[in-house]
Amino acid sequence: MESILKYPHLFEPIMLAGQLFRNRIFSSPQGYYNVGPECFPNLDCVAFYERKAKGGFASVCAGDCIVDEKTGTHYPFTYRIDDPNCLPGFAAYASAVSRQGAVASVELSHAGLHAEAVAKRGGIVYGPVDMEGMYGPVREMPESEIYRIIQCYGKAAELAKQAGCGMVTIHGGHGWLLAQFWNKKINTRKDKWGGESIENRMRFSLEVVDCIRRYVGPKFPIEYRMSGTESYEDGYDLDEGIEFAKALDGRVDLIHVSAGHHQVQSAMLVTHPTMFMEDGCNAKYAREIKKHVKTPVATVGAFTDPAQMEEVIASGWADVVELGRQTLADPDLPLKARLGKEDEIIKCMRCMTCFGNSGEKRHYYCSLNPETEHELENKNVQPPKVLKKVLVAGGGIAGMQAALTAKRQGHEVILCEKSDRLGGILLCEENVPFKKHLSEYLRTQALLCKRAGVDIRLNTEVTPEYALSLKPDVIIAALGAKQLEPSIPGIDG
């Protein structure tokens, strides 16, 4: 009870369009690219999202579900939600997330002029106007096509609801189709869908919202994800972002204020703040927008600390906090915060390894969490039949993680470190201010080893004689990595 009261605002349930969310911590949209050629949710992806729900998030969102595969695909392996055969996959997803007490959402998306996969297979790429795009020529989207795409959004939302999802999230930010129509430098159309008038540039988005509402009815929450500002020279600024939010006010149930642009590198780093930026650095955009709307507002970007998240809600900057990478680094953040175990939270250090790998290998790796994208495998791990005595030599990050994993399986674990502290070679980063989450990680892992009951022996070098004297069943040699020295003339001083 005490720890619930510690973050009373963060753990206060919220009702959106008749749907109850158990707290204010949502998992922000994340795509999953390890899907088969049909691009439907599979068992791996279901386990990936279910793990977040199990960690206590109030809502989990499957990102980048393409509403029209023919014209809307950016990456070739994103979900499609325009084919009735995808229904069982989304139903499995919704059921897995719901049985953990969270609300499942899908993000409805269309890449518009950035539909790279469409361009690569020789399809027609549509944007607001004729132009030369990043992937070749872009054709002005004819009005008939606009109306067809609006219907695609509506039907996709209907399918999501039928699958058992409790919300849909319209992706109206990060420079994708709907945001392209908002941008007056891009959308110079002369008809009712563009030009100087904000009303015209918003028409597409609002028609999408209204169409979805017709398909899902009033008692079904619609979240609208937008960039508060596009954060680059030719993008729209916060003043316009406020006007867009005002037009959405009362028509959607949650205005989700992100920032930046996916296809402009400098602005992409605003969307996904780097380790050089402060925690919660984009909350200021939500705060400004919230001053102008009555609809609940969500903020996102670089949140890792429940105390800061509580403050954001308590001070009225936002009603909901959404977490992206933090759900990969430690999906148990909500549970740990609720149980008063904040000191056990592994904080995302914003190294972007996950992001790089998701693009290059279609596989998430987290530098800090070995479980990420092995959720299905981990879900099915059986307790060992025979418990063993495990000796881990080396108390760096690999040794600590190995010790923890073995201990959690029930083995007897001795962790030896020849220096007087756990942490290994990465302790040299300890005083670098922008790597503070890395040093916190080292401390947290050491704490977790201690709390798990690992027998930690500092100032202990594992010699052959010492190892033999302990009679272990297994020895794990985690002896550290050698630092890489680039061959730069003069590097030796």
Ligand X SMILES: Cc1cc2nc3c(=O)[nH]c(=O)nc-3n(C[C@H](O)[C@H](O)[C@H](O)COP(=O)(O)O)c2cc1C
Minimum Å distance from CB 166 to ligand X? Answer: 18
- 434 near ligand X, rule: CB under 6 A: no
Q: Which does 366 bind (CB under 5 to 8 A by kind): ligand X, ligand SF4, none?
A: ligand SF4
Please say which residue, 354 or 478, places its beta carbon nearer to ligand X.
354
Alpha-helical segments (H) within 33-81: 43-54, 69-72
Q: Which does 272 bind (CB under 5 to 8 A by kind): ligand X, ligand SF4, none?
A: ligand X
Distance CA 279, CA 350 (A): 10
> Can you name the residues that pair with 475 across neighbouring β-strands?
391
User: For the range 213-219, what are the long-range contacts, defined as Cβ-Cβ under 8 Å and sequence gap of 24 or more?
Assistant: 213/251, 214/154, 215/154, 215/155, 215/157, 215/158, 215/161, 216/157, 216/158, 216/161, 216/168, 218/17, 218/18, 219/17, 219/18, 219/19
Distance CA 107, CA 157 (A): 9
- 438 near ligand X, rule: CB under 6 A: no
- 273 near ligand X, rule: CB under 6 A: yes
Q: Which does 353 bind (CB under 5 to 8 A by kind): ligand X, ligand SF4, none?
A: ligand SF4
Count of H helices and E strands in the chain? 19, 17
- 326 near ligand X, rule: CB under 6 A: yes
Does residue 161 contact residue 219 with C-beta atoms inside 8 Å?
no
Does residue 337 contact residue 306 with C-beta atoms inside 8 Å?
yes
Q: Which of 75, 232, 355, 434 binds ligand X (CB under 6 A)?
A: 355
Residues 48-107 touching ligand X, rule: CB under 6 A, are: 63-64, 107
CA angle, residues 137, 141, 144, in degrees to nearest 5: 145
Distance CA 487, CA 493 (A): 12
Distance CA 167, CA 182 (A): 24
Determine the size of the site formed for ligand X (CB under 6 A): 24
Please say which residue, 355 or 466, places its beta carbon nearer to ligand SF4.
355
Q: Which does 29 bind (CB under 5 to 8 A by kind): ligand SF4, ligand X, none?
A: ligand X
Please say which residue, 50 or 417, places its beta carbon nearer to ligand X.
50
* DSSP three-state, residue 428: helix
- 331 near ligand X, rule: CB under 6 A: no
Please say which residue, 375 or 417, places its beta carbon nearer to ligand X.
375
Does residue 104 contact residue 97 with C-beta atoms inside 8 Å?
yes
Question: Residue 383 class from Cβ within 10 Å (0-12 exposed, 13-18 middle, 19+ buried)?
Answer: exposed
Please say which residue, 226 or 416, places its beta carbon nearer to ligand X.
226
Minimum Å distance from CB 258 to ligand X? Answer: 5
Does residue 168 contact residue 212 with C-beta atoms inside 8 Å?
yes
Residues found near ligand SF4 in the complex (CB under 6 A):
325, 328-329, 348-354, 366-368
- 223 near ligand X, rule: CB under 6 A: no
Q: For residue 92, which of 82, 107, 106 has the smallest C-alpha distance?
A: 106
Virtual torsion, Cα 209, 215, 221, 226, nearest 10 deg: -20
Q: Which does 287 bind (CB under 5 to 8 A by kind): ligand X, ligand SF4, none?
A: none
Choose the stretch contacting ligand X; rule: CB under 6 A; options: 26-34, 94-102, 150-158, 385-393.
26-34
Would you give the binding string for ligand X spanning residues 278-317, x where CB under 6 A is met?
A: ----------------------xxxx--------------
Please say which residue, 67 or 366, places its beta carbon nearer to ligand SF4.
366
Q: Which does 329 bind (CB under 5 to 8 A by kind): ligand SF4, ligand X, none?
A: ligand SF4
Q: What b/e readout covers 267-290, taking b as 16+ CB neighbours within 10 angstroms?
A: bbebbbbebebebbbbbbbbbbbb
- 325 near ligand X, rule: CB under 6 A: yes
Q: For residue 244, which of 257, 232, 261 has the smallest C-alpha distance?
A: 257
Q: Which of 31, 175, 228, 241 binds ligand X (CB under 6 A)?
A: 31
Q: Which does 303 bind (CB under 5 to 8 A by kind): ligand SF4, ligand X, none?
A: ligand X
Minimum Å distance from CB 364 to ligand SF4? Answer: 8
Q: Which of 29, 72, 89, 394 binds ligand X (CB under 6 A)?
A: 29
> Between β-strands 222-227 and 167-171, what pairing exists: parallel, antiparallel or unpaired?
parallel
Please say which residue, 31 or 396, places its beta carbon nearer to ligand X.
31
Minimum Å distance from CB 286 to ligand X? Answer: 12
Using N-to-C axis directions, what is the helix angle for 238-248 and 283-290, rounded to 10°? 50
Residues 98-117 touching ligand X, rule: CB under 6 A, are: 107
Read off the tokens for 295: 């609809």
Please say which residue, 202 or 270, places its beta carbon nearer to ligand SF4.
270
- 323 near ligand X, rule: CB under 6 A: yes
Q: Which does 475 bind (CB under 5 to 8 A by kind): ligand SF4, ligand X, none?
A: none
- 272 near ligand X, rule: CB under 6 A: yes
Contacts of 87 by beta carbon, 8 Å cutoff, 6+ apart: 159, 162, 163
Minimum Å distance from CB 8 to ligand SF4? Answer: 28
Q: Which does 273 bind (CB under 5 to 8 A by kind): ligand SF4, ligand X, none?
A: ligand X
Please say which residue, 171 or 336, places its beta carbon nearer to ligand X.
171
Contacts of 492 by beta carbon, 8 Å cutoff, 6+ apart: none
Using N-to-C axis directions, what is the helix angle for 397-408 and 436-452, rounded to 10°? 40
Given the rule CB under 6 A, which residues bind ligand X? 28-31, 63-64, 107, 171, 225, 258, 271-273, 300-303, 323-326, 354-355, 358
